[in-house]
Structure 1
Amino acid sequence: MSTTSEGTAVRPFAFEFPESELDELRQRVRAARWPEKETVSDQSQGTPLATIQELARYWAEEYDWRNIEAKLKALPHFVTEIDGLDIHFIHVRSRHENALPLIVTHGWPSSVIALLKIVEPLTDPTAHGGDASDAFHLVIPSMPGYGFSGKPTAPGWNPERIARAWAELMKRLDYTKYVAQGGDWGAIITELMAVQEPEGLLGIHTNMPSAVPPEIEQALAAGNPLPSHLQFTEEESVALEQLGFVYQHVHYAYMMGSLPQSLTALADSPVGLAAFMLGPGLPLIPEASPEGTDGLTRDDILDNITLFWLTNTAISAARLYWENKTPFFGARGVALPTAVSVFPDELYETPKSWAEQAYPQLIHYNRLEKGGHFPAWEQPELFVKEIRTSLRSLR
Structure 2
Amino acid sequence: MSIVSTAQIRHSSFATSAAAVLGLFLAAAFNYAHAVPAADQPSATTRAAAEDNSIRPFHVHVPDETLVDLRRRIAATRWPDKETVADQSQGVQEAKIQTLVNYWGTDYDWRKTEARLNALPMFVTTIDGVDIQFIHVKSRHPHALPLIITHGWPGSPLEIEKAIGPLTDPMAYGGRAEDAFDVVIPSMPGYGFSGKPTGVGWGPDHIARAWDVLMKRLGYKQYVSQGGDWGSVVADAMGRQAPAGLLGIHVNMPATVPPDVAMTLNNGEPAPGGLSNVEKAAYESLANLYKKGGGYAAMMVTRPQTEGYGLADSPAGQAAWMYDKFAAWTYSGGDPERSLSKDEMLDDITLYWVTNTSTSSARLYWENNNNNFNAVEQRTADISVPVAVTVFPGEIYRAPRSWTERSYPKLTYFHEVSKGGHFAAWEQPQLFAEELRAAFRPLRRQQ
Normalising by the smaller structure, the TM-score range is: over 0.9
Native 8 Å contact 2:227 2:251 kept in 1: yes
The alpha-carbon distance between structure 1 residues 14 and 153, as it changes in their structure 2 partners (threshold 3 A), is same
What is the aligned counterpart of 1:240 among 274, 278, 283?
Answer: 283
* Cα RMSD, aligned residues only: 1.9
**Residue 269 of structure 1: aligned partner:** 314
Aligned runs of 1:75-94 on 2, under 5 Å?
75-94=120-139
The normalised TM-score by structure 2 is 0.83
Partner residue of 1:310 out of 354, 360, 363: 354
Indicate if the aligned counterparts of 2:51 and 2:129 stay in contact, CA closer than 8 A: no
CA contact (8 A) 1:257 1:321 kept: yes
Counterpart in 2 of 1:161?
206
Distance 1:283 1:84, change over 3 A: farther
Which residue in the other structure is 1:321 paired with? Answer: 365
Distance 2:50 2:162 in 1: 34
Tell whether 2:348 aligns with 1:299: no
Letter in 2 for 1:324: N
Identity of aligned residues (%): 53
**TM-score of the superposed pair, with normalisation by structure 1:** 0.94
**What residue number does 1:377 align with?**
426
CA distance in 1, matches of 2:359, 2:275: 40
- 1:13 to partner: Cα distance: 1.3
Counterpart of 2:440? Answer: 391
* Residues in 2 aligned to 1:225 and 1:55: alpha-carbon distance in whole angstroms: 38
| Cα shift at 1:219 | 3.3
Q: After TM superposition, give the deviation of residue 44 of structure 1 in Å.
A: 1.1
2:266 is matched with 221
Residue of structure 2 equivalent to 1:127: 172
Q: 1:210 aligns with which of 255, 277, 287?
A: 255
The aligned counterpart of 1:189 is: 234
| Aligned residues between the structures | 388
2:65 pairs, out of 16, 20, 23, with 20
1:329 is paired with a residue whose SS is coil
- 1: CA distance, partners of 2:413 / 2:364: 30
- SS at structure 2 position matched to 1:181: strand
Candidates 271, 294, 300, aligned match of 1:256? 300
SS at match of 2:185: strand
Distance 1:288 1:350 in 2: 20
Specify the alignment match of 1:111 in structure 2: 156
Determine helix, strand or coil for the equivalent of 1:391: helix
Report the Cα offset of residue 123 of structure 1. 0.8
**What secondary structure sits across from 1:80 in the alignment?**
strand
- Displacement of 1:247: 2.2
Q: Secondary structure at the match of 1:346?
A: coil
Q: Is the 8 A contact 2:151 2:159 kept in 1?
A: yes
Task: State the one-letter code of the partner of 1:171.
Answer: K
Amino acid at match of 2:356: N
- Code of the aligned partner of 1:67: K
Gaps of 5+ in 1: none
Distance 1:126 1:325, change over 3 A: same
Cα distance change on mapping 1:283 and 1:172 into 2, 3 Å:
farther
Residues 282/51 of structure 1: CA separation in 2 closer, same or farther (3 Å cut): closer
**Cα offset for 1:217?**
2.1
Q: Distance in 2 between matches of 1:218 and 1:97?
A: 49
Q: Which has the higher contact order (CA 8 A, sep 6+)?
A: 2
2:199 and 2:269 map into 1 onto residues whose CA distance is 35
Which residue among 86, 108, 114 is the counterpart of 1:63? 108
**Cα deviation digits, residues 13-38 of structure 1 (max 9, x gap):** 12211222111111111110011101
Contact between 2:51 and 2:126, CA under 8 Å: does it hold in 1? no
SS of structure 1 residue aligned to 2:160: helix
Q: Match for 1:241: what amino acid?
A: E
Tell me whether 1:50 sits opposite 2:95 in the alignment.
Answer: yes
Alpha-carbon distance between aligned partners in 2 of 1:19 and 1:287, rounded to the nearest angstrom = 37
Q: Which is further off, 385-394 or 98-107?
A: 385-394
SS at match of 2:131: strand
What is the alpha-carbon distance in structure 1 between the residues aligned to residue 398 and residue 167 of structure 2?
25
Give 1:163 shift.
0.9
Contact 1:44 1:280 in 2 (8 A): no
| 1:11 and 2:56 matched | yes
Find the aligned partners of 1:176 and 1:161 in 2 and give their Cα distance: 20
> Could you say what secondary structure the match of 1:278 adopts?
helix
Tell me the alpha carbon deviations over residues 135-159 of structure 1, each in whole angstroms, 9 at most, x when there is no partner: 0010000001000000011111111
The whole-number CA distance in structure 2 between the counterparts of 1:182 and 1:376 is: 10
Contact 1:335–1:359 (CA under 8 A) maintained in structure 2:
no
Question: What code does the residue aligned with 2:289 have?
Answer: V
What is the alpha-carbon distance in structure 1 between the residues aligned to residue 417 and residue 299 of structure 2?
32
Name the residue aligned to 2:400: 351
Distance 1:23 1:281 in 2: 26
Contact 1:145 1:152 in 2 (8 A): yes
Query: 1:237: Cα distance to partner?
Result: 0.8
Amino acid at match of 1:339: A
**Alpha carbons of structure 1 residues 159 and 6: separation in structure 2 relative to 1, 3 Å:** closer
| Equivalent-residue separation in structure 1 for 2:109 and 2:326 (angstroms) | 28
The residue type equivalent to 1:220 in the other structure is L
Where does structure 2 lack aligned partners over 5 or more consecutive residues?
Answer: 1-48
Secondary structure of the residue aligned to 1:86 is strand
Q: Distance in 1 between matches of 2:191 and 2:266?
A: 27
Q: Is the 8 A contact 1:51 1:287 kept in 2?
A: no
Do the aligned partners of 1:194 and 1:336 also contact (CA within 8 Å) in 2?
yes
Decide whether aligned partners of structure 1 residues 328 and 282 sit closer, same or farther in structure 2, where only a CA change above 3 A counts: farther
